[in-house]
Structure 1
Protein backbone atom coordinates (compact mmCIF):
# COMPACT_ATOMS: atom_id res chain seq x y z
CA UNK A 1 0.00 0.00 0.00
CA UNK A 2 1.47 3.33 -1.00
CA UNK A 3 1.46 6.40 1.23
CA UNK A 4 -1.16 8.05 -1.01
CA UNK A 5 -3.60 5.13 -0.69
CA UNK A 6 -3.67 5.23 3.11
CA UNK A 7 -6.80 7.08 4.27
CA UNK A 8 -5.87 10.19 6.22
CA UNK A 9 -9.28 10.45 7.91
CA UNK A 10 -11.44 7.65 9.29
CA UNK A 11 -14.97 9.04 9.58
CA UNK A 12 -17.09 7.25 12.21
CA UNK A 13 -20.41 7.60 13.98
CA UNK A 14 -20.93 6.52 17.61
CA UNK A 15 -23.81 5.91 20.01
CA UNK A 16 -23.39 7.48 23.43
CA UNK A 17 -25.44 5.50 25.94
CA UNK A 18 -25.02 6.50 29.58
CA UNK A 19 -26.76 4.73 32.45
CA UNK A 20 -26.06 5.32 36.15
CA UNK A 21 -23.04 7.47 35.32
CA UNK A 22 -21.40 4.82 33.12
CA UNK A 23 -21.02 4.75 29.35
CA UNK A 24 -21.62 1.71 27.17
CA UNK A 25 -18.47 0.43 25.41
CA UNK A 26 -17.86 -2.55 23.14
CA UNK A 27 -14.81 -4.70 22.39
CA UNK A 28 -14.57 -6.20 18.90
CA UNK A 29 -13.43 -9.82 18.49
CA UNK A 30 -9.65 -10.12 18.44
CA UNK A 31 -9.03 -6.64 19.87
CA UNK A 32 -7.79 -5.67 23.31
CA UNK A 33 -9.40 -2.23 23.37
CA UNK A 34 -12.97 -1.05 23.88
CA UNK A 35 -14.74 1.51 21.70
CA UNK A 36 -17.89 3.59 21.90
CA UNK A 37 -20.35 1.47 19.80
CA UNK A 38 -20.76 2.53 16.18
CA UNK A 39 -18.67 2.43 13.04
CA UNK A 40 -17.85 3.67 9.59
CA UNK A 41 -20.42 4.73 7.05
CA UNK A 42 -21.01 2.64 3.93
CA UNK A 43 -21.21 4.51 0.65
CA UNK A 44 -23.40 7.62 0.84
CA UNK A 45 -25.01 6.78 4.18
CA UNK A 46 -25.94 9.67 6.44
CA UNK A 47 -24.83 9.77 10.07
CA UNK A 48 -28.31 8.61 11.11
CA UNK A 49 -28.36 5.70 8.64
CA UNK A 50 -24.88 4.61 9.73
CA UNK A 51 -25.77 4.86 13.41
CA UNK A 52 -28.99 2.82 13.07
CA UNK A 53 -27.30 0.10 10.99
CA UNK A 54 -24.15 -0.21 13.10
CA UNK A 55 -25.96 -0.38 16.45
CA UNK A 56 -28.44 -2.93 15.14
CA UNK A 57 -25.53 -5.07 13.82
CA UNK A 58 -23.31 -4.74 16.90
CA UNK A 59 -25.75 -4.68 19.81
CA UNK A 60 -29.03 -6.18 18.50
CA UNK A 61 -31.12 -3.16 19.48
CA UNK A 62 -33.09 -0.70 17.38
CA UNK A 63 -32.37 2.96 18.01
CA UNK A 64 -35.45 5.19 17.87
CA UNK A 65 -34.63 7.69 15.08
CA UNK A 66 -36.89 10.41 16.50
CA UNK A 67 -34.79 10.47 19.70
CA UNK A 68 -31.34 10.76 18.09
CA UNK A 69 -29.48 13.88 19.22
CA UNK A 70 -25.95 15.05 18.36
CA UNK A 71 -23.64 15.22 21.39
CA UNK A 72 -20.43 16.33 19.73
CA UNK A 73 -17.80 15.51 17.12
CA UNK A 74 -14.25 14.64 18.12
CA UNK A 75 -11.00 14.11 16.23
CA UNK A 76 -7.79 12.44 17.40
CA UNK A 77 -4.95 10.29 16.13
CA UNK A 78 -5.94 6.72 15.29
CA UNK A 79 -5.39 4.08 18.00
CA UNK A 80 -3.60 1.70 15.63
CA UNK A 81 -0.19 3.12 14.76
CA UNK A 82 -0.71 4.78 11.41
CA UNK A 83 1.27 7.92 10.78
CA UNK A 84 -0.96 10.92 10.29
CA UNK A 85 -4.27 9.02 10.31
CA UNK A 86 -7.03 10.83 12.21
CA UNK A 87 -10.31 9.41 13.46
CA UNK A 88 -13.37 11.67 13.41
CA UNK A 89 -16.18 10.43 15.65
CA UNK A 90 -19.62 12.05 15.43
CA UNK A 91 -21.45 11.14 18.64
CA UNK A 92 -25.17 10.80 19.18
CA UNK A 93 -27.48 9.82 22.01
CA UNK A 94 -30.70 7.92 21.32
CA UNK A 95 -33.31 5.82 23.05
CA UNK A 96 -33.61 2.20 21.96
CA UNK A 97 -35.86 -0.82 21.99
CA UNK A 98 -34.73 -4.39 22.47
CA UNK A 99 -32.17 -6.06 24.72
CA UNK A 100 -28.52 -5.01 24.52
CA UNK A 101 -26.31 -7.94 23.55
CA UNK A 102 -22.94 -8.35 21.82
CA UNK A 103 -23.41 -9.45 18.22
CA UNK A 104 -21.63 -9.60 14.87
CA UNK A 105 -17.98 -8.59 15.38
CA UNK A 106 -18.53 -7.53 19.02
CA UNK A 107 -17.18 -9.95 21.62
CA UNK A 108 -17.96 -8.06 24.81
CA UNK A 109 -19.88 -5.05 26.08
CA UNK A 110 -19.13 -3.20 29.31
CA UNK A 111 -20.23 -0.10 31.22
CA UNK A 112 -17.27 2.20 31.83
CA UNK A 113 -16.72 4.92 34.41
CA UNK A 114 -14.27 7.78 33.85
CA UNK A 115 -11.56 5.72 35.58
CA UNK A 116 -11.76 3.27 32.63
CA UNK A 117 -10.68 6.02 30.20
CA UNK A 118 -7.24 4.41 29.50
CA UNK A 119 -9.03 1.36 28.03
CA UNK A 120 -10.45 3.31 25.05
CA UNK A 121 -8.70 4.95 22.06
CA UNK A 122 -7.68 8.64 21.97
CA UNK A 123 -10.81 9.91 20.20
CA UNK A 124 -13.07 8.15 22.73
CA UNK A 125 -10.99 9.64 25.57
CA UNK A 126 -11.96 13.13 24.39
CA UNK A 127 -15.63 12.19 24.74
CA UNK A 128 -14.94 10.73 28.21
CA UNK A 129 -13.30 14.05 29.20
CA UNK A 130 -16.31 16.11 28.07
CA UNK A 131 -18.81 13.78 29.74
CA UNK A 132 -16.82 13.81 32.97
CA UNK A 133 -16.55 17.62 32.93
CA UNK A 134 -20.34 17.79 32.48
CA UNK A 135 -20.80 15.52 35.50
CA UNK A 136 -22.28 12.67 33.42
CA UNK A 137 -19.66 9.99 34.20
CA UNK A 138 -18.81 8.67 37.65
Structure 2
Protein backbone atom coordinates (compact mmCIF):
# COMPACT_ATOMS: atom_id res chain seq x y z
CA UNK A 1 0.00 0.00 0.00
CA UNK A 2 2.72 2.50 0.93
CA UNK A 3 4.63 1.83 -2.29
CA UNK A 4 1.52 2.43 -4.44
CA UNK A 5 0.72 5.63 -2.55
CA UNK A 6 4.29 6.91 -3.04
CA UNK A 7 4.19 6.06 -6.76
CA UNK A 8 0.86 7.91 -7.16
CA UNK A 9 2.21 10.97 -5.34
CA UNK A 10 5.34 10.97 -7.47
CA UNK A 11 3.25 10.70 -10.67
CA UNK A 12 1.13 13.67 -9.58
CA UNK A 13 4.28 15.66 -8.83
CA UNK A 14 5.63 14.84 -12.28
CA UNK A 15 2.36 15.95 -13.89
CA UNK A 16 2.57 19.27 -12.06
CA UNK A 17 6.22 19.70 -13.01
CA UNK A 18 5.41 19.01 -16.68
CA UNK A 19 2.51 21.46 -16.59
CA UNK A 20 4.77 24.13 -15.08
CA UNK A 21 7.44 23.43 -17.73
CA UNK A 22 4.91 23.66 -20.59
CA UNK A 23 3.70 27.06 -19.39
CA UNK A 24 5.57 29.71 -21.38
CA UNK A 25 5.34 32.29 -18.61
CA UNK A 26 7.45 32.62 -15.49
CA UNK A 27 6.36 30.76 -12.37
CA UNK A 28 6.42 33.13 -9.39
CA UNK A 29 4.91 31.22 -6.46
CA UNK A 30 3.47 27.87 -5.49
CA UNK A 31 1.42 27.06 -2.37
CA UNK A 32 -0.58 24.15 -1.03
CA UNK A 33 -4.15 24.48 0.21
CA UNK A 34 -4.43 23.95 3.98
CA UNK A 35 -6.06 20.55 3.41
CA UNK A 36 -3.29 19.53 0.97
CA UNK A 37 -5.74 18.68 -1.81
CA UNK A 38 -4.88 21.54 -4.15
CA UNK A 39 -1.84 23.52 -5.21
CA UNK A 40 -1.92 27.08 -6.55
CA UNK A 41 0.69 28.62 -8.81
CA UNK A 42 1.05 32.25 -9.80
CA UNK A 43 2.64 33.18 -13.08
CA UNK A 44 3.16 35.79 -15.70
CA UNK A 45 5.79 37.70 -17.55
CA UNK A 46 6.24 41.33 -18.43
CA UNK A 47 4.24 41.76 -21.60
CA UNK A 48 2.89 38.23 -21.20
CA UNK A 49 -0.67 37.14 -21.74
CA UNK A 50 -0.98 34.48 -19.03
CA UNK A 51 -0.88 36.62 -15.90
CA UNK A 52 -2.99 34.32 -13.79
CA UNK A 53 -3.23 31.88 -10.91
CA UNK A 54 -3.82 28.22 -11.60
CA UNK A 55 -5.45 25.82 -9.15
CA UNK A 56 -4.22 22.24 -9.51
CA UNK A 57 -5.36 18.94 -8.04
CA UNK A 58 -2.37 17.99 -5.87
CA UNK A 59 -3.02 14.28 -6.24
CA UNK A 60 -3.66 13.97 -9.97
CA UNK A 61 -1.84 17.07 -11.25
CA UNK A 62 -4.92 18.18 -13.20
CA UNK A 63 -5.57 21.86 -13.76
CA UNK A 64 -8.87 22.63 -12.02
CA UNK A 65 -9.37 26.33 -12.69
CA UNK A 66 -7.50 29.42 -13.81
CA UNK A 67 -8.12 32.59 -11.81
CA UNK A 68 -7.99 35.53 -14.21
CA UNK A 69 -8.20 39.26 -13.75
CA UNK A 70 -4.64 40.52 -13.38
CA UNK A 71 -3.18 42.19 -16.45
CA UNK A 72 0.45 42.05 -15.29
CA UNK A 73 2.67 39.51 -13.53
CA UNK A 74 1.10 37.77 -10.53
CA UNK A 75 3.92 37.80 -7.98
CA UNK A 76 2.30 35.69 -5.28
CA UNK A 77 -0.79 33.75 -4.31
CA UNK A 78 -1.77 32.29 -0.96
CA UNK A 79 -4.65 30.36 0.55
CA UNK A 80 -6.56 31.63 3.56
CA UNK A 81 -6.03 29.45 6.67
CA UNK A 82 -9.45 27.84 6.21
CA UNK A 83 -8.83 27.29 2.48
CA UNK A 84 -11.96 29.19 1.42
CA UNK A 85 -10.21 32.00 -0.45
CA UNK A 86 -7.05 32.84 -2.36
CA UNK A 87 -5.29 36.22 -2.20
CA UNK A 88 -3.08 37.36 -5.07
CA UNK A 89 -0.56 40.19 -5.47
CA UNK A 90 0.46 41.64 -8.80
CA UNK A 91 2.59 44.12 -10.67
CA UNK A 92 -0.71 45.60 -11.91
CA UNK A 93 -0.87 47.33 -8.50
CA UNK A 94 -3.76 45.26 -7.20
CA UNK A 95 -4.47 42.70 -4.53
CA UNK A 96 -7.31 40.42 -5.48
CA UNK A 97 -9.22 37.85 -3.47
CA UNK A 98 -10.92 34.89 -5.13
CA UNK A 99 -13.33 32.31 -3.75
CA UNK A 100 -11.22 29.14 -3.77
CA UNK A 101 -14.08 26.88 -4.84
CA UNK A 102 -15.94 28.94 -7.44
CA UNK A 103 -13.12 31.24 -8.60
CA UNK A 104 -15.42 34.25 -8.14
CA UNK A 105 -13.41 37.43 -7.68
CA UNK A 106 -14.23 39.64 -4.72
CA UNK A 107 -13.68 43.46 -4.64
CA UNK A 108 -10.22 44.59 -5.76
CA UNK A 109 -7.75 46.54 -3.63
CA UNK A 110 -5.87 49.03 -5.82
CA UNK A 111 -2.53 50.36 -4.57
CA UNK A 112 -0.15 53.12 -5.73
CA UNK A 113 2.68 50.73 -6.68
CA UNK A 114 3.08 47.09 -7.70
CA UNK A 115 2.64 44.46 -5.03
CA UNK A 116 5.26 41.78 -4.40
CA UNK A 117 3.47 39.60 -1.87
CA UNK A 118 0.19 39.06 -0.07
CA UNK A 119 -0.79 36.62 2.65
CA UNK A 120 -3.33 36.00 5.36
CA UNK A 121 -2.76 36.24 9.10
CA UNK A 122 -3.29 32.98 11.02
CA UNK A 123 -6.80 34.12 12.02
CA UNK A 124 -7.77 34.58 8.36
CA UNK A 125 -7.55 38.36 8.05
More helix by share: 1
Greater relative CO (CA pairs within 8 A, separation 6+): 1
TM-score norm. by structure 2 comes to: 0.30
